[in-house]
Amino acid sequence: MKAGVVSVGAAVGGVRSRRPAIDHAVRAYQRYTGDGGDRCAASTTYFAFLSFFPIMALAFSVLGFVVDAYPDAQAKFTEQINDYLPGLADRLDVATIGRAKVGAGLIGLAGLLLAGLAWVSALRDSIRIIWHQSLEAGNFVMRRIRDVAILAGLGLTLAVSLVVTSLATSATDAFLRWIGLAGNTAAAWVTGLLALGVALVIDMAVFVFIFRYLPERTNRDRVLRAALLGAVGVELLKILGTWLVGQTTSNPVYGTFAVIVGLLIWINIMMRWMLFVAAWAVTGPYASDVDPSGTATAATATDRQSAASG
């Protein structure tokens, strides 16, 4: 039995030595688990869940005014929300919330400031834990001001992404109708690839924003590589999420709580992925990847630093 375990370990070690990408993923997972990534993801999921409804109330309040001028905006908005929350947007009463307008906006803004700032703080601490950085860096008041700016920046990024995606989709559909290719299979593939490309750029922008402004310090090259990985992963997880959330919300066991359970599962998947990508960004052949939860020894890191300075 022991010999079998040793042989399996040797085989895995051989694969890792021949495939740097696999080795990097294993190192990242070791760091993620070693630093309590699941617990950090649970914390950020809790505050993200509390932030969701104020965000929706605020967004639908704005939508209520937009729909007066652009009646098709509601359908487009629901479509974009469903892209981020697979299978859930169709179960939300968008029309009723949108008609609330001012009331929903005030409630959303107040709730967003409370729950949203707590989510930013939890996410910042989680990333810094995995990156082995100080959790209390900077003045408390300045941190809160910075958190408000980060929350506003994320909101602006997501709002712009929804607008850009909607405009790109509408413009593409109009162009295809103009040249007489509406409904053409090849044109549909091109439209799908264009939408995927726009989504990847938007996802990358979100990851870059988070990894640039939440940690105490960062490295541009690592952030860009991690953002690309994160964006690709998000698009793949959307496919999985559509099936997983569908299974959850259709399960009679959850009854009236099906949407809430599905939302919690989806947010937790996203938070785990984001923190795994954070671990991936600081593992591999980097001198900062040291014990206790890193994968290189402190001596190895010192040797690398000496070699770099030499």
Q: List, in order, residues 6 or more apart from 263 with CB less than 8 Å away.
A: 49, 52, 85, 88
In a domain, 292, yes or no: no
Residue 76: predicted pLDDT: 64
Q: Is 119 exposed, middle or buried (0-12, 13-18, 19+ CB in 10 A)?
A: buried
The shares of helix, strand and coil residues in the chain, as percent rounded to the nearest 5, are 80, 0, 20
Residue 67: predicted pLDDT: 59
In a domain, 2, yes or no: no
Asked if 261 and 254 touch (Cβ cutoff 8 Å), the reply is: yes
In a domain, 294, yes or no: no
C-alpha to C-alpha distance for 231 and 200, rounded to whole angstroms: 5
C-alpha to C-alpha distance for 65 and 62, rounded to whole angstroms: 5
Tell me the pLDDT of the chain (310 aa) as tens digits: 555 545 555 555 567 666 788 888 888 999 999 999 999 999 999 999 888 777 766 666 666 666 565 666 666 666 666 666 665 556 666 556 555 555 556 666 777 778 888 999 999 999 999 998 888 766 777 888 888 888 888 877 777 776 676 667 677 777 777 777 666 677 677 777 877 888 898 899 999 999 998 888 888 888 999 999 999 999 888 887 777 767 766 777 666 677 788 788 889 999 999 999 999 998 875 545 544 344 433 334 344 334 334 4
C-alpha dist (Å) from residue 102 to 61, 66, 106, 218: 6, 13, 6, 40
Residue 171: predicted pLDDT: 72
Asked if 24 and 283 touch (Cβ cutoff 8 Å), the reply is: yes
In a domain, 96, yes or no: no
In a domain, 223, yes or no: yes
Residue 94: predicted pLDDT: 58
In a domain, 16, yes or no: no
C-alpha to C-alpha distance for 279 and 155, rounded to whole angstroms: 25
Residues shown for the chain: 310
Q: How many domains does the chain have?
A: 1
In a domain, 179, yes or no: yes
- Given CA atoms 128, 132, 136, 138 in this order, what sign does their dihedral have? negative
Residue 243: predicted pLDDT: 75
Give the other-Cβ count within 10 Å of 83's Cβ.
Answer: 17
Amino acid of residue 176: L
- Which two structure tokens, joined as six digits, stand for 94? 């968008």
Residue 33: predicted pLDDT: 93
Residue 68: predicted pLDDT: 60
In a domain, 95, yes or no: no
Q: Which domain holds residue 173?
A: 34-85+104-287
- Which two structure tokens, joined as six digits, stand for 226? 């991690």
